[in-house]
């Protein structure tokens, strides 16, 4: 008799990911203790033992809740019991830039990157599911931040892999139950103070009720279709940025000759390179900078998040610290 269908589905997703990784290499799973990442950890331990890969697990203690250190220790014990080695916790300090959610994400990925380098791991598996993808698309739509946000999360991004993007959250919980694993439900996921929690509890159910079932899968499918378009536009923008002469001074005439979808990408990239935080830089900021190219009436400058100032001088768009901004000519 084979495994439970939910367990089989998660294992198959991990098996497909491991097929792209050299046998003998170390693969890590980022495990919070929630159902998604816990099911992923169980599947990785099972599949790696059969594919010749080494498998380990990491959990990140953000220190944002009482008892977080004890929970992290429990996750480490669970991962070790599954046979993951190394199995370790990383404690991080969460800052305030971009809000708590963004700051926690930054701290988490910094810790994961450091552990990946220290252990010389080839890949890190993340437990994002179909539901997470749909929520990401809706959050991007609400921000009005363009095709890249609507394209959602990539299945592979550098050394990060998301094997579960085609599987629903209900399936990972069933897989945990079948594997005898007890997931932890993070109360932050139910706290409506956070936008993602509101999308999860209110917006997606309302869409399913108002427009019919299947909205989660449809949003994730839309993300996949948009990703190819966004990748092509990003490649074009990278070439255009070189032609415009960046990174701190862009030729206005080159920018004016670009399609808007490419021009705004060039401006967005340049602003971030100049120090504007990605989580705080919104479409309205990029539009204001674009007006220095397409609606030039002698404006003095545009101030961006991160104390970055953009001004136009001698047919160049200049990016620098706000105290360096001067009136343009």
Domain end point (choices 211, 233, 253)? 211
- 84, 80, 110: which is closest to 95 by C-alpha? 110
Number of alpha carbons in the 13 Å side-chain half-sphere of residue 39: 31
- Asked if residue 240 belongs to a domain, the reply is no
pLDDT tens string, the chain, 329 residues long: the values are: 789 999 999 999 999 999 999 999 999 999 999 999 999 999 999 999 999 999 999 999 998 888 899 999 999 999 999 999 999 999 988 887 767 778 888 899 999 999 999 999 999 999 999 999 999 999 888 876 667 778 889 999 999 999 999 999 999 999 999 999 999 988 878 888 888 899 999 999 999 899 988 999 999 998 988 888 888 999 999 999 999 987 789 999 999 999 999 999 999 999 999 999 987 888 899 999 999 999 998 888 999 999 999 999 999 999 999 875 444 33
Vertex 280 angle, CA 279 and 284, to 5°: 120
Beta strands in the chain (DSSP E): 26-30, 54-61, 87-91, 123-125, 156-157, 160-161, 249-251, 302-304, 308-313, 316-321
Please give the structure tokens belonging to residue 58.
């990491």
Domain that holds residue 308: 245-324
Same domain (yes/no): 68, 158 = yes
Same domain (yes/no): 30, 155 = yes
Phi–psi pair at 194, nearest 5 degrees:
-105, 135
Please tell me the pTM assigned to this model: 0.80
Question: Which CATH number does the domain housing residue 258 bear?
Answer: 3.30.465.60
CA torsion angle for 213, 214, 215, 220 (degrees, to 10)?
170
Same domain (yes/no): 198, 249 = no
CA torsion angle for 140, 6, 186, 141 (degrees, to 10)?
10
CA distance 304 to 300: 14
Compute CA 328 distance to the chain's CA centroid, rounded to the nearest angstrom. Answer: 37
CA distance 104 to 133: 19
Question: Which CATH number does the domain housing residue 53 bear?
Answer: 3.40.50.620
CA distance 178 to 182: 10
Same domain (yes/no): 258, 188 = no
- Asked if residue 107 belongs to a domain, the reply is yes
């Amino acid at each position: 008799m084979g495994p439970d269908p939910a367990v089989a589905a998660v294992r198959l997703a991990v098996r497909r990911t491991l097929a792209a990784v050299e046998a003998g290499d170390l693969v890590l799973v980022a495990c919070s203790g929630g159902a998604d990442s816990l099911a992923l950890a169980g599947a990785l331990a099972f599949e790696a033992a059969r594919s010749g890969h080494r498998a380990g697990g990491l959990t990140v203690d953000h220190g944002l809740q009482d008892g977080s250190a004890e929970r992290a220790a429990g996750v480490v014990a669970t991962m070790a019991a599954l046979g993951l080695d190394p199995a370790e916790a990383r404690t991080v300090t969460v800052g305030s830039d971009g809000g708590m959610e963004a700051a926690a994400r930054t701290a988490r990925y910094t810790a994961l990157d450091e552990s990946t380098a220290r252990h010389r791991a080839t890949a890190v598996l993340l437990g994002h599911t179909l539901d997470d993808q749909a929520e990401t698309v809706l959050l991007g739509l609400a921000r009005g931040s363009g095709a890249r946000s609507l394209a959602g999360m990539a299945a592979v991004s550098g050394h990060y892999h998301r094997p579960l993007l085609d599987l629903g959250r209900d399936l990972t919980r069933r897989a945990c139950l079948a594997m005898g694993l007890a997931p932890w439900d993070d109360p932050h996921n139910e706290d409506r103070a956070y936008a993602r929690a509101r999308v999860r509890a209110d917006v997606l159910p309302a869409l399913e009720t108002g427009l019919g079932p299947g909205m989660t899968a449809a949003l994730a499918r839309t993300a996949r279709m948009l990703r190819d378009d966004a990748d092509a536009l990003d490649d074009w923008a990278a070439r255009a940025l070189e032609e415009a002469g960046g990174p701190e001074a862009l030729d206005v005439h080159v920018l004016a000759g670009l399609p808007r979808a490419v021009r705004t990408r060039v401006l967005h990239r340049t602003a971030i390179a100049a120090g504007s935080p990605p989580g705080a830089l919104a479409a309205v900021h990029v539009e204001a900078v674009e007006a220095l190219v397409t609606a030039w009436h002698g404006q003095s400058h545009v101030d961006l998040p991160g104390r970055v100032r953009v001004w136009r001088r001698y047919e160049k768009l200049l990016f620098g610290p706000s105290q360096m901004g001067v009136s343009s000519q």
